Structure 1
């Protein structure tokens, strides 16, 4: 089934309001999830609604967090997320961070006591609207072993950045430090499908293409020891430095249903005017993009893409033609909606 983005946002927001999230905050979460679907990152899209609702109902997530400033200086900001949804907490951090960066040129913003925040690209786009440079990272529950180990310690610990451009689309990079986000393995297991070799190992440390065995084992870091090193850095900045959980001290979104996650986030926002005029910078970025796009191509390569360019194409196509929901996702959403007194058919006609 295909559904248009606005209908899907209204559907998700109405479900979340049934579990005591305010209309304003429900719109933030719905916008984040549907934005992921539009960009083609379906593993972080509306497929997450059922687990979010379950955790809200159990009390593990605070539906109305009082996000407060614990500590700040001209260039730093530390926020307490009050065990709220990561999208809501992250949006508050970005809002406050933009304000401080405009005043002081740049800011490092840390967040403690948060939860799964969706895609980093969502927060990056909010900063790009202000013609600023942004970095976003978060830690996550243990699903990835240290390089050479078999016991999960680090999360897939996402990292994202965004660079504004003048005439071209902005550059947006958003990745997990694992070969693939664990959500994609979960999606494969829900569909009863195998996964490509090299994504994960089983609990004995053996390579596996079985999605169930992969979920019982550990995902692998991208680039071997390089991805492992980046995952460690992100956990230090997002967890150790902020006072949030880190490594195995973060509760699992799918397992510890009644416990707050204590996820940590870390953002950096840079006002380009601290270095040069914004228009000059964006023109220079355009120059770089054009030079890369027009550089010599390898055999059988039709086009060279910049980070985020394919996702922008996905967004354009899905905005125009609708977002496709697989049968498993549709049935899961239907069941969750019904538990909240909502009929999915009223929205997804």
Structure 2
């Protein structure tokens, strides 16, 4: 069913607050969730939002964390998420990051000690919406085998890239895992009791499998064999630059009480300092590839992005309402306590 985005956002903020998130963290997380849901990516939207709530309840995510940002050089921003979500520090440093890129031609954001970031493309797209080219990486706890390894050694380690387009148009963005598919897609298949394609994963014994449940107990595989593994390695080395955990050492995002403590790395480039006509030229090239050469570009096959409205499954909406009701009851209880003290 379709709902107004602002209604879902309010429910998300209330739900996150019910699990101890600060208002700042709850709003940041809600904004990222709504963006994914509007883009028709429920596995990275509302359903992944529930992972954050469960992680806060399980104490592997600190919803009230106080991140810090240092600036060791004019165009370098180093953040410590403090065991919280990566969005808060990024939001705090965003305007300065953009300003530095405009002034110096490039700026870099590197973060450690955070929970997983959800849709990495969300961060890259926000930068590109300010007229900057963006490359972003992040690592996660180990779920992918590589190079004949014994078990998983890397996370799905995605790479996102975004280029601005002319005013009024959404940036061109792609966000892809280094694995054949993102872990959330395998989880969705397992939830729906559906088979996964051959070549996506191996089971716990290292045998190829099309069973999603077996894949979750085994390991994902990189795209393109050793080439995907090399990309995963590059992503790992960039994402951990500020001191984040290697994927092998990261805590699980869905079990236990230890934070994944992973990292994110982002570079923003000002194309106007290289060529004032770059954005228009890049847009013409993308249109040329699509229209003249019939090339399918990233995002073409997805449902239309629908700002202002969210398609939310009834069960997910009901679950959001339950969490929001808990928050409301807690607020009433706290207010009653204050009155008694008064």
Shorter-chain TM-score tier: 0.7 to 0.9
Q: Is the 8 A contact 2:85 2:117 kept in 1?
A: yes
* CA RMSD between the two structures: 2.3
| 2:297 paired residue number | 306
Going from structure 1 to structure 2, the CA distance change for 1:54 and 1:341 (only over 3 Å counts) comes to farther
| 1:85 paired residue number | 85
* Whole-Å separation in 1 of the counterparts to 2:70 and 2:28: 23
How far apart are residue 184 of structure 1 and its match? 1.1
How far apart are residue 21 of structure 1 and its match? 2.6
How far apart are residue 274 of structure 1 and its match? 2.2
**What per-residue deviation string (whole Å, max 9, x for no partner) do you get for residues 293-340 of structure 1?**
22244xxxxxx33223444x5213x856x404164x456545545554
| 1:292 paired residue number | 289
TM-score by length of 1: 0.86
* Whole-Å separation in 2 of the counterparts to 1:331 and 1:306: 35
- Map 1:1-349; keep pairs closer than 5 Å: 1-166=1-166, 169-239=170-240, 241-256=241-256, 258-277=257-276, 280-297=277-294, 304-311=295-302, 313-316=303-306, 319=308, 322-325=310-313, 327=315, 329-330=316-317, 332-333=319-320, 336-337=323-324, 339-340=326-327
1:10 aligned counterpart, secondary structure: helix
How far apart are residue 103 of structure 1 and its match? 2.8
How far apart are residue 55 of structure 1 and its match? 2.0
* Whole-Å separation in 2 of the counterparts to 1:43 and 1:244: 25
How far apart are residue 229 of structure 1 and its match? 0.6
TM-score by length of 2: 0.88
How far apart are residue 213 of structure 1 and its match? 0.2
Q: Is the 8 A contact 1:89 1:114 kept in 2?
A: no
Q: Is the 8 A contact 2:25 2:85 kept in 1?
A: no
How far apart are residue 57 of structure 1 and its match? 2.9
* Whole-Å separation in 1 of the counterparts to 2:291 and 2:264: 37
* Whole-Å separation in 1 of the counterparts to 2:82 and 2:325: 29
Going from structure 1 to structure 2, the CA distance change for 1:77 and 1:319 (only over 3 Å counts) comes to closer
How far apart are residue 50 of structure 1 and its match? 2.6
